[in-house]
């Protein structure tokens, strides 16, 4: 009986020590509040918006390294980007695929196409692999964006200017003689910052007349405006 009592005491003591150690080492994860800017063109908390908004962060874009917009956009529920020739595409957000002007495509909040222009290949005109973030509003947008935002709004945000000198060069290659060179660099001097992004892509295509070449340049200028 004495041995049994001693064994029970040891088990209880060990359990208490393990529980105390677990509580001591337990770290409460901190979830940062996600901010979106596409709905009203101002930074707002995502949880405070009544609209259905999804965002793809720059880290995910960098990990996926999309060779076509569909490879990153189709990860968003309710969004379907159909692949045509080259980097061409047709968009569907909560409705069938269409080239009608029912979607608004933005880069840093600025429309990349004129009002009423068809949606075919719109994302070809922005540098998706070098984006900082992509926000998608499903359904009709606010009056701020006009009639094109009937079916949805896609806002591709460029990377901000680096605070110190930065240069990145990322060469990639694949089948069908596909290759791509992504280059980015910039710096900040005083209240002014600059970033230059380059995208050079070539592919012979996986079938006849599906090859393409792409050369795009994005220049971003950031300036700190002092209130004094």
What mean pLDDT is predicted for residues 80-101?
Answer: 87
- Given a cut of 90, whether residue 11 has pLDDT beyond it is no
How far is 63 from 71, CA to CA, in rounded Å?
11
Nearest one of 227, 222, 160, 219 to 191, comparing CA atoms: 222
> Cα dist. 104→20, 49, 111, 181 in Å?
55, 19, 7, 28
pLDDT at 225: 87
pLDDT at 88: 83
Of 10-14, 37-41, 70-74, 129-133, where does mean pLDDT reach its minimum? 10-14
Mean per-residue pLDDT over the chain, rounded:
82
pLDDT at 228: 54
Give the helix ranges, DSSP H, for the chain: 2-25, 58-64, 70-73
Q: Which CATH class is domain 35-158?
A: mainly beta
Give the helix ranges, DSSP H, for 31-136: 58-64, 70-73
Label residue 109 exposed, middle or buried (CB < 10 Å: 0-12, 13-18, 19+). middle
- For residue 149, name the pLDDT band (cuts at 50, 70, 90): confident
What mean pLDDT is predicted for residues 167-194?
Answer: 96
> Cα dist. 204→81, 127, 129, 139 in Å?
22, 20, 20, 37
Tokens coding 42: 């101002």
- Given a cut of 80, whether residue 38 has pLDDT beyond it is no
């Amino acid at each position: 009986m004495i041995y049994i009592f001693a064994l029970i005491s040891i088990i209880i003591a060990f359990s208490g020590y393990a529980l105390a150690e677990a509580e001591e080492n337990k770290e409460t994860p901190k979830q940062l509040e996600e901010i979106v800017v596409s709905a009203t063109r101002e930074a707002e908390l995502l949880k405070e918006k009544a609209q259905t908004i999804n965002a793809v962060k720059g880290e995910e874009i960098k990990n996926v390294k999309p060779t076509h917009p569909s490879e990153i956009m189709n990860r968003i529920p309710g969004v379907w980007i159909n692949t045509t020739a080259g980097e061409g595409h047709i968009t569907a957000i909560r409705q069938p695929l269409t080239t009608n002007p029912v979607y608004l495509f933005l880069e840093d909040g600025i429309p990349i196409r004129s009002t009423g222009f068809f949606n075919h290949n719109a994302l070809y005109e922005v540098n998706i692999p070098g984006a900082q973030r992509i926000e998608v509003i499903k359904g009709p947008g606010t009056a701020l964006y006009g009639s094109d935002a009937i079916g949805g709004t896609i806002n591709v945000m460029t990377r901000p200017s680096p605070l110190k000198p930065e240069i990145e060069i990322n060469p990639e290659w694949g089948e069908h003689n596909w290759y791509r060179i992504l280059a980015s660099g910039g710096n900040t001097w005083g209240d002014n910052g600059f970033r230059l992004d380059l995208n050079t892509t070539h592919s012979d295509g996986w079938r006849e007349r599906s090859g393409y070449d792409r050369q795009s340049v994005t220049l971003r200028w950031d300036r700190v405006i002092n209130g004094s």
